[in-house]
Structures are given as structure tokens and as C-alpha cells.
Amino acid sequence: MSKQSKTIEEKMNELREMTAWFESEEFSLTEAADKFKQANALAKDIEKDLGELRNTVNELKQSFET
Amino acid sequence: MENLRLQVSEFIALTNQTLEYAYPSVEIEGEVSSFKVNQNKYVFFDLKDDEASVGCFMTVWQLRTPIEDGMKIIVTATPKLTNWGKFSLTVRALRPSGEGSLKKSFELLKAKLEKEGLFSPERKRLLPSLPKHIGVISSTQAAGYADFIKIVNDRFGGMTIDVAHVQVQGAAAADQIIKAIRYFNMLEQMPEVLVLVRGGGSADDLATFNDEQLVREIAASRIPVLTGIGHEVDVSLADMAADVRAATPSNAAQLLVPDRRELVADVRHRMHGVIPAIERRIADYHDDVVGQLDSALGAIDTRIDDVHNELTMTSRVLGEYNPQKVLARGYALVRGDVKPGANIDIERANDVITAEVKHVKAK
């Protein structure tokens, strides 16, 4: 993950909020360009994370025999 | 042995030792008859075939599959001579044998657990949308497990997957799976979801997943459980008690995590939607400004019309005060000193008359 501080889910939620802003009542033309740049950067970050993330598979040492 | 003289109890003990040595554990297949449960603790039945019959004893706790008279079963038991000289089998475990008995046992347990509400939809919990910690219970040598892990790794990443290796068929399987479920549920950092996977197999192989205690353990799990057992057509009681049932191990992987390619497509779709949104907002602004200008011009036109109307009205009123109009209606304007003997001018609409005043009288 390129940014450990946020999970993919958090980033996806952030992107959803950012893109929803463009359809919301809070939309302002003066802020639109900056918001678009931020959303675009976040989208690229998510794509990068999705491409790089790998799973860690641990086989437990415990025996479950009875 | 010929000269061996024993007390009865010694003989019975010796016989049991001999039996235990000869048959420490024996599997016997037969049909159940005279099934009964005493004091809700002890189970008695006869196991018979066409030519013979033997009494069986076990505890209710050991009876993990419902049985009834006429069902064909396989018992795992130790032969024993009781203190009353009766020969019986002490049963440690049993399982239905043959398709008919498996189905009958399945239906009996299903009805029992359904009545208790173990399968009710209200109990079902949602799976986490993007889990970070998963607990998997399966045999790591099984093809179903390999399919599951391969598809999960292909679809999504960044997760910790803890795998409990257990038997997924055979007499010990249910207890091992139960132990693994308990293990995960007792962890301080519990996984967000438990996945129980096993590939396809015969009805007998999959009978593990119809074990009453296992089904109850799944229903009682604090962690949501996803099952992917057998093939599409194989529906076990474990599946019915789970929060989510997948048709196969591969399908379990698909239900568990989203496909990263779909997420990327979603992200791109969202971003592609932003430009038209901005364009729409700009068009809205433009329409708003044009609308306001139209409104202002309309207000100016209205004001001009109002002033014009007011002017026309005033002009009309003023016209009524014009003396020529009064004379035209027949009135006359008198000028001069109004006293007897003096001349006065009387102006009418079309002429002026000069006249002498003869007499003046107050009204």
C-alpha cells in the first residue's frame, strides 16, 4: 500500500464523497478545479494500491486434532 | 484356562478385557430398531440385519445425528458384557449409511434445528465489504482450498488470511472444525469473517457438514460465517446455519472480496463522471445568469409601461380641467364689475357677449 495511514475502503469512501461534491449543493465553481485535482490524485492512488496489494496467508501452527 | 476358577464379576471383567483387546474399536453396519432415549441422557437401540441383532448403548451427547427405527447406520463401538451378563455395543459414534438414511437423518435434524430458529433469516449477518482479516477453516491439501485461495489472491489483496488446517471428511472432521471455530472466536483480535471451505465429494464425505454440534457451533459463532462446501447442488445444514452460503469454494472467494479490476473500473467511472458534472454545473450557472438578466429586462419593461399608463391617466384628468371644455358643455365665463349700470363680458364657447348689469341680488 502506498499510504499505510488509510485503507482502500477509506480511500474509496473519500473518493465517493469527493465526486459527490460535484453534484451537491456545496458545489462552487471557484473550488471545482482544486477539488478535481485532489480527486484525480486519490483515484490514481487507489488504482496503484489495488495493483500492488498482496495477501498474507498464514497456516496456523495449532493442531485441531481431538 | 481350563482350571481357572473365577467369580462372576471377575469373569465379566476378564471377558471385557479380552473383548477390548480383540476389538478395541469396531465398525458395524446395520438397521436401527427399538430406538429409545431414557431420562434424556441414555440412548438404547438394537442394530440388526436379516439374521442377527445386537443391543447398543450410547449417551445422548454422543448422538450427533438423529436416527430412528428403520434407518441404516454404521456405528463405531466397543463390544461389552454388562454386569448383568448382557452383551451390548458401547457406541462412541454413528453415522447414517446409504443415501436413504443420510437423507432421512438430514431431514430429521433440519426440522429440529429449523424449529429452534437456527436457520432463520433474521439471524443472518452481512459480511464485511472489504475484510482485512479472514479466518479460513479447511484442509490445506484439498483442491477446494487451493481454488479458494487462488481466486481470493487474484481478486483482492492487502488481507491477512489465517488458515486452520482441519480434516474435512471422516469421523474426526466435525470435532476439528468445531475446535477451529472456537479457536478463532476466542482470539483477542478476531477475524472479521470465517470461511469454511471444502470441495465436492460424495454424500457420505459431506455428511460432516450435517453434524448437529458443528451446525450449532456455526450458528453460535460471534464471527460471521461464510460456507463454500461441495458443489452448487450440495446444501448442508452447515450452509443453512451460516450467515452466507456460497455454492462452491470458488464462489465463496467471489462473495468474500470484490474484484480489484471492478474496483479500478468503478474508480475510473466515477472520475469520468466528474467532467460532465462540472459542465452541467457551468451550464446551470449560465442559465441562471441569463434567467436573471431576462428577469431584470422584464422588470424594466414593466416599470416603463406603468409610468406610461400613469402619464396617460394624468393627462386625461388634466384635460377635464381645461376651461374650453367647460365652455363647450354650455357654461359661460363672466368678467367685469358686477354692479348695476356697469358692463360685463360674458364668454361662451364660440363668442363673447358684452352686457349691462341691471340688477344684482344676493342669493
Identify which of A19, A52, A66 has the shortest CB distance to residue B273.
A19
Residue A45 placed within a domain: yes
pLDDT value of residue B55: 95
pLDDT at A1 over 80: no
Residue A59 placed within a domain: no
A39–B contact, CB cutoff 8 A: yes
Q: Chunked in runs of 10, what are the mean pLDDT values of chain B (363 residues)?
A: 83 94 92 94 95 95 91 94 93 90 90 96 94 96 94 94 95 94 97 96 87 96 96 90 96 95 91 89 90 94 95 88 86 91 92 93 87
Residue A2 placed within a domain: no
Mean pLDDT of A25-38: 91
pLDDT value of residue B2: 67
CA B280 to chain centre: 36
Q: In the structure, what pLDDT confidence band is assigned to residue A4 with cuts at 50, 70 and 90?
A: low
ipTM above threshold 0.95: no
Q: Phi, psi (5° rounding) for residue B73?
A: -135, 165
The number of domains in chain A is 1
pLDDT value of residue B1: 61
Closest C-alpha among B306, B137, B308, B149 to residue B227? B137
pLDDT value of residue B329: 86
Residue A3 placed within a domain: no
Report chain A's terminal Cα–Cα distance, integer Å.
40
H or E stretch covering A32: helix A29-52
Cβ-based contacts under 8 A for chains A and B = 103
Q: Within 13 A of B111's CA, how many CA atoms are on the CB side?
A: 7
Mean pLDDT of A23-43: 91
Identify all chain A residues contacting B269, using CB atoms and an 8 Å cutoff: none
pLDDT value of residue B29: 95
Residue A22 placed within a domain: yes
Q: Say if CB B43 and CB B37 are below 8 A apart.
A: yes
Whole-Å CA distances, B26 to B49, B53, B160, B211: 16, 16, 43, 21
Q: Say if CB B189 and CB A32 are below 8 A apart.
A: no
Residue A66 placed within a domain: no
Cβ–Cβ gap B271/A27 under 8 Å: no
Residue A12 placed within a domain: yes
Residue A60 placed within a domain: no
Cβ–Cβ gap A57/B271 under 8 Å: no
pLDDT value of residue A3: 44
Query: Which domain covers residue A27, as residue numbers?
Result: 8-51
